[in-house]
Structure 1
Amino acid sequence: VLLLAMIHVLFAENLVKLGRLAANGVDELRAASAAWTPERAAPITGIAVDEIRALTRALATTPRAVLYGRIGVCVQEFGGMAAWLCYTINALTGHLDEPGGLMFTTPAVDPLPLAAMLGFDGGFDRWKSRVSGKPEFGGELPMTVLAEEIETAGNGQDKVQIRALITSAGNPVLSAPGGPRLEKAFETLDFMVSIDPYINETTRLAHVILPPTSALERSHYDAALNAFAVRNVAKYSPPTFERAADARHDWEICLELWTRIGLPAKLGPGSTVVRKLLGKLGPEAIIDLALRTGPHGFGRGGLSLAKLRKLPHGIDLGALEPRLPKRLATADKKLQLAPDIYLADLDRLRARYSATWSTGLVMIGRRHLRSNNSWMHNSERLVKGPSRCTIMMHPVDATARDLVDGAMANVSTKKGAIELAVEVTDSMMPGVVSIPHGWGHGLKGVKLRVAQTVPGVSVNDIVDSDRIDKLSGTSALTGQPVEVRRA
């Protein structure tokens, strides 16, 4: 709603300036935002009309500015729409693919060709999940379908029930919505294997745990996150220690599982050769090839793995540079500002706010620098200090519920309740509370020596997994209605 109001202001005050990028859908976007005035948005968002206008003007008139949104934007009831509008506003204000704005990397290992080859090309709704018909995105289904796909019987033909599961470096019992339901579903599987060094809340349910080498026993090149960096860099790190003779790297474990499941046979007559070649070359040969054929690899002095081995601190490949329109996948190399799937979803937004909406408390998540994910809680250095598994509340909301800093609060939804300490702070907006994810290490069978001394509670135990972004099927982790009272 806030983003649509900002787009309304951009058009109403003639602040739209696309710059050098050509775009389709400008008129459609103008029409779509016409009804979403700051006056309409203010009571919904809690942001004053004048502040919405001032924010929009500042973004539009500041030469180097960016509207940035990630996880918090995506995991809510209108996550797909909000992510679209973030890109749209950057484009309308001339900040897309421009220095100081929203830019894209030129990574030494370009992931796009490989992603397209593997089917992770951003396709949407080419097929749907078996039980609830949720759409795929980039070849993947949303986590919200996993429990039902395990619980619901198939027809033995084209509607196949999940009876076996492989997890790798994941802990969905803590990190996915509806953790208790997932736990029960996992217990019914015929077979579950986990690739993980820990016996955590999820892997304790596995029939077999395959521990990979540690981070210090394997080489590393960040082929994924370099695609999202704020500067173009390349760095290779060799193993610090030799692995034990019977230890296996993640990729070796996955390759062997892939082989035993029989997937290589789907490659046809050359499957045996492909399997042996991958096993012999390993990921380093693939990275070397990608470096040599990537945007920084051609010509004399180009990048290679041998070159990076000689540069233990890595290499600076320079500042981000404009990549559009060449990088666009559209046939006409123009931005598509108003895709039909998003315009159609505006009807759902209108319906959502045409009637009276709840004025009670809503819950959002949060991540701490030392507690991004559940596995970080098994490090003494990262968990020392004050407890970070707290519910943050505005003083007005705390006082109304007779809660003080450090008091225990009961937080509930229709899915259950948890109890945790209160942290009173005016950094929260009135009406909003925040609980971090990834805690809840007190479950039976967990063997995490450090994490079990600071167990906390799992917010996903009370997250209503039925609340989703209906466009994408993604869980609405943010904006969950909750009740809070003194424990």
Structure 2
Amino acid sequence: MENGIHYRTCHLCEAMCGVAIEMRDGHIASVRGDRDDPFSHGHICPKAVALKDIHNDPDRLTRPLQRTAEGWKELDWDCALDLVARRLHQVRTEHGRNAVGVYLGNPNVHNHGALVANLPFLRALGTQNRFSATSNDQLPHMLANLEMFGHQLLFPIPDIDHTELLICIGANPLASNGSLMSVPDLKGRLKALKARGGELVVIDPRRTETARQADAFHFIRPGSDALLLMAMVNVLFAENRVDLGAAQHWTRDLELVRLACLPYTPEAVAQQTGIEPVIIRDLAHRLATTQRAVLYGRIGTSTQSFGGLATWLIYLLNILTGKLDATGGLMFTQPAVDLVTLGALSGQRGHVGRRTSRVRGLPEFGGEYPASTMAEEMLTPGNGRIRAFVTIAGNPVLSSPGGQRLDEGLAQLDFMVSIDYYLNETTRHADIILPPTSALERSHYDVIFNMLSVRNVAKYSEPLFQPDDNARHDWQIMLELAHRLERLKRGGSLGLRRELGWRALKRIGPDGLLDLALRTGPYGQPVGRLQPLLQPAVDLIEAVLPERHPLKHLTGLSPLDRRWQDLPKGLSLAALRDQPHGLDLGPLRPSLPDRLYTRDRQVHLAPRRYLEDLPRLYQRLSEPVGGHLQLIGRRHLRSNNSWMHNSQRLVKGPERCTLMIHPRDASLAGLANGDQAEVTSEAGRIVLPVEITEDIMPGVVSVPHGWGHTRAGTTQRVAQAHAGASINDVIRDNQVDPVSGTSVLNGQAVTVTRHANEQRRRA
């Protein structure tokens, strides 16, 4: 790459911050914020320096590896791809297609190439045993999108730049840089909120980084959020404060909501939530009476025993107070690549419960089973047992509940392959590791996070480095494997048209399809027939893809209707290349009811799925409070799940993998600051240092997510030197929210004691 400044989007979290990378003599000299980026305006967080660290990481794998009796050995690509395809096909042939399982990790959604290749690869695998990080994260939001708005990807986004009141529950956006709210420089945006007379209210079991900036903060007991939210709904109806605004014309079942909330008065829920009735009423009043206000919840409200109900109620409260599709409230994006419309055209709006998992009978969502079922599907004998496994950019041993059981399950597989450039706690079990290029060696466009952005933007980044001739992008790896698997399934021959289709798909690649999506998307131009050289290739690709595949409908899209005629036109890949800082496509705008995809074009306020779960919530009112410590996770600005701990600059400084505990609970356990504490549950035990703080609610303890680099056989040396402990080793995988199938990662019961070595040291 030439010397000088090159502009990209940081891909390390959801915020999409623009970066200016200075190159000297083929090396990265500096990484700074891009002041001309129309979205981030020069802001970056400390993680941006890891762009250089990850690319230059000496522990990053660059060649295929095979496990042998003598250790790992390198393979050439064709040999490795042929071997993987043969072994996966062999397991399918001998034990059935569902004997193969696959897990997709979080980095896939930051990568438009992986998104393009995932679908044909999954189709070639043909298994129903599909898993991803979704059910450890945002699944309740996708379920609410589907049930209420008719499309699993139609996320309502807080219009934070125009709101006057932001109520944050179970979310810490100053550490996460948003999350289902792509928002660079949140601190600056919160300052702007207060400068225009607005307020921030935070509700959480921990006084988080975001809570420290709040005008008001309230502790809440883990897992009781749905009770608080239902009591707020109760107040709105009891005091005649329900006002749907424009939404009254396209909503249904309001009376069912009124009846459902009757038992949940503020007085009834106060003990369970730990929040006084007067505060609950005040929260409801302020949401109802502030014209531009929004209620926002995330991981804390999603990954708990009532995650489905809590997320539904967050949406519902915004609707009941007239904040849906209103400036300063919850609004919908109109991204340049519109997967919502593409999915609707292909009939892929989402689905739930078409089948259930083999062992526990949990429902699938969007074709995926809950991640909490992976270990049992590997360890439980019987027809359909997972005997081969594929991981793609994921480390579920550290990021999914029951990490020790999953370790056991992966160790007894017949075959495992990982598409990953680290030998980590999960990939150490693989027979073959296929390492893709680094993110800086491929182009970048944020397909997913532009759908979650607080402003409509578009930006394309060229590769910063030219990959080695012997390197492969992840999309190339997946397409090559898919092509080989399809050949094996059909006896070695696909026929001329299908062979040409595979060649065309590989040749056009994700950038060619991105260009087509941009041209035919909301800000493109009517193109009639495509360019003469492109149309035949698209026709061939369609022969490879299934009938209902979203990519087959790119040529059926057209620019936005007259509502959007004032916005820029002619968007294409070439146009974005000419704008290296990115394009601002405007603020979020009202788009309902036209953007609804329910059959009756109405917002469904009271889906049966949620109403049927209310008896379980009502039972919670009579359960005893206290008696055990409840465990919650936490996020740090310098960390992102399990894969950013091999950068010395991000892990240096005070130890962050600590047990946060309230002084009262520490005293009861005989713990002092810096002691080693033992945290135990039915799932296992971990040991980590104590951090006593009044920032945590009494009866609650917190351990950060993504640590635990203590397992043998990994090669991430920096991470091993700052190993920490894995919270998922003490989180049971048999606890899920029955409505959504989401793992209960917050609120599980644990016991905390002084570690035996600590007791001996004190003695």
TM (normalized to structure 1)? 0.95
| CA deviations over 1:45-78 (Å, ceiling 9, x no partner) | 1011111111111111111211111222111111
Shift of 1:269: 8.5
CA 1:18–1:263: 2 relative to 1, 3 Å: farther
Partners in 2 of 1:426 and 1:302 — Cα distance?
Answer: 55
Amino acid at match of 1:262: E
Partners in 2 of 1:433 and 1:349 — Cα distance?
Answer: 23
Counterparts of 1:204-219 in structure 2, within 5 Å, are 204-219=428-443
> Are residues 1:342 and 2:342 paired?
no
Shift of 1:119: 7.6
Match of 2:269 among 35, 41, 47: 41
Contact 1:165 1:191 in 2 (8 A): yes
Aligned counterpart, 1:275? 502
Match of 1:187 among 411, 431, 442: 411
CA 1:264–1:288: 2 relative to 1, 3 Å: farther
Contact 1:258 1:264 in 2 (8 A): no
Aligned counterpart, 1:286? 513
> Are residues 1:385 and 2:638 paired?
no
CA 1:268–1:117: 2 relative to 1, 3 Å: farther
CA 1:24–1:359: 2 relative to 1, 3 Å: farther
Shift of 1:163: 1.3
Aligned counterpart, 1:71? 299
Aligned counterpart, 1:61? 289
Amino acid at match of 1:274: G
Counterparts of 1:467-482 in structure 2, within 5 Å, are 467-482=735-750
Partners in 1 of 2:351 and 2:505 — Cα distance?
Answer: 27
TM (normalized to structure 2)? 0.61
Partners in 2 of 1:360 and 1:119 — Cα distance?
Answer: 47
Contact 1:120 1:139 in 2 (8 A): no
> Are residues 1:234 and 2:462 paired?
no
| CA deviations over 1:385-415 (Å, ceiling 9, x no partner) | 1111011122222233232222221111122
Aligned counterpart, 1:258? 482
Partners in 1 of 2:253 and 2:689 — Cα distance?
Answer: 49
Please, which runs of 5 or more residues in structure 2 have no aligned partner?
1-226, 527-567, 756-763
Partners in 2 of 1:263 and 1:361 — Cα distance?
Answer: 54
CA 1:115–1:204: 2 relative to 1, 3 Å: farther
Contact 1:441 1:452 in 2 (8 A): yes
| CA deviations over 1:248-304 (Å, ceiling 9, x no partner) | 001000111112222897999853333122111000011001111111112684110
Aligned counterpart, 2:232? 6
Contact 1:264 1:275 in 2 (8 A): no
Shift of 1:237: 0.5
> Are residues 1:464 and 2:690 paired?
no
> Are residues 1:128 and 2:356 paired?
yes
Amino acid at match of 1:40: A
Contact 2:235 2:265 in 1 (8 A): yes
Partners in 2 of 1:11 and 1:375 — Cα distance?
Answer: 46
Aligned counterpart, 2:699? 431
Partners in 2 of 1:131 and 1:271 — Cα distance?
Answer: 37
Partners in 2 of 1:124 and 1:464 — Cα distance?
Answer: 24
Partners in 2 of 1:376 and 1:106 — Cα distance?
Answer: 31
Partners in 1 of 2:622 and 2:510 — Cα distance?
Answer: 53
Shift of 1:361: 1.2
Partners in 1 of 2:592 and 2:511 — Cα distance?
Answer: 30
CA 1:260–1:153: 2 relative to 1, 3 Å: farther
Shift of 1:152: 2.4
Contact 1:119 1:138 in 2 (8 A): no
Q: Which is further off, 276-285 or 463-472?
A: 463-472
CA 1:115–1:486: 2 relative to 1, 3 Å: farther
Amino acid at match of 1:5: A
Amino acid at match of 1:137: F
> Are residues 1:298 and 2:525 paired?
yes
Contact 2:626 2:699 in 1 (8 A): no
Please, which runs of 5 or more residues in structure 1 have no aligned partner?
none
Amino acid at match of 2:685: A
Contact 2:436 2:477 in 1 (8 A): yes
The CA RMSD measured in Å over matched residues stands at 1.9
Partners in 1 of 2:669 and 2:575 — Cα distance?
Answer: 62
Contact 1:417 1:462 in 2 (8 A): yes
Amino acid at match of 1:420: L
Contact 2:271 2:625 in 1 (8 A): no
> Are residues 1:177 and 2:404 paired?
no
Aligned counterpart, 2:210? none
> Are residues 1:315 and 2:579 paired?
no
Contact 2:593 2:601 in 1 (8 A): yes
Partners in 2 of 1:288 and 1:474 — Cα distance?
Answer: 35
Contact 2:294 2:323 in 1 (8 A): yes
Aligned length: 483
Match of 1:247 among 471, 486, 492: 471
CA 1:71–1:268: 2 relative to 1, 3 Å: farther
CA 1:10–1:261: 2 relative to 1, 3 Å: same
Contact 2:425 2:714 in 1 (8 A): yes
> Are residues 1:24 and 2:240 paired?
no
Aligned counterpart, 2:336? 108
- How many percent of aligned residue pairs carry the same amino acid? 56
Partners in 2 of 1:42 and 1:459 — Cα distance?
Answer: 29
Aligned counterpart, 1:330? 598
| CA deviations over 1:342-363 (Å, ceiling 9, x no partner) | 0001112223333435432111
Partners in 1 of 2:695 and 2:479 — Cα distance?
Answer: 48
Partners in 1 of 2:487 and 2:614 — Cα distance?
Answer: 42
CA 1:360–1:64: 2 relative to 1, 3 Å: same
Shift of 1:221: 0.5
Partners in 1 of 2:656 and 2:343 — Cα distance?
Answer: 37
CA 1:331–1:369: 2 relative to 1, 3 Å: same
Amino acid at match of 2:522: P
Partners in 1 of 2:416 and 2:345 — Cα distance?
Answer: 28
SS of aligned partner of 1:193: strand
Shift of 1:239: 0.6
Aligned counterpart, 2:389? 165
Partners in 1 of 2:389 and 2:498 — Cα distance?
Answer: 24
Partners in 1 of 2:267 and 2:627 — Cα distance?
Answer: 18
Contact 2:373 2:733 in 1 (8 A): no
Amino acid at match of 1:277: A
SS of aligned partner of 2:331: coil
Shift of 1:37: 0.7
Amino acid at match of 1:123: H
Partners in 1 of 2:642 and 2:265 — Cα distance?
Answer: 41
SS of aligned partner of 1:112: helix
Amino acid at match of 1:166: V
Contact 1:420 1:456 in 2 (8 A): yes
Shift of 1:228: 0.4
Partners in 2 of 1:194 and 1:119 — Cα distance?
Answer: 31
SS of aligned partner of 1:67: strand
Amino acid at match of 2:749: P
> Are residues 1:84 and 2:312 paired?
yes
Q: Which is further off, 335-344 or 112-121?
A: 112-121
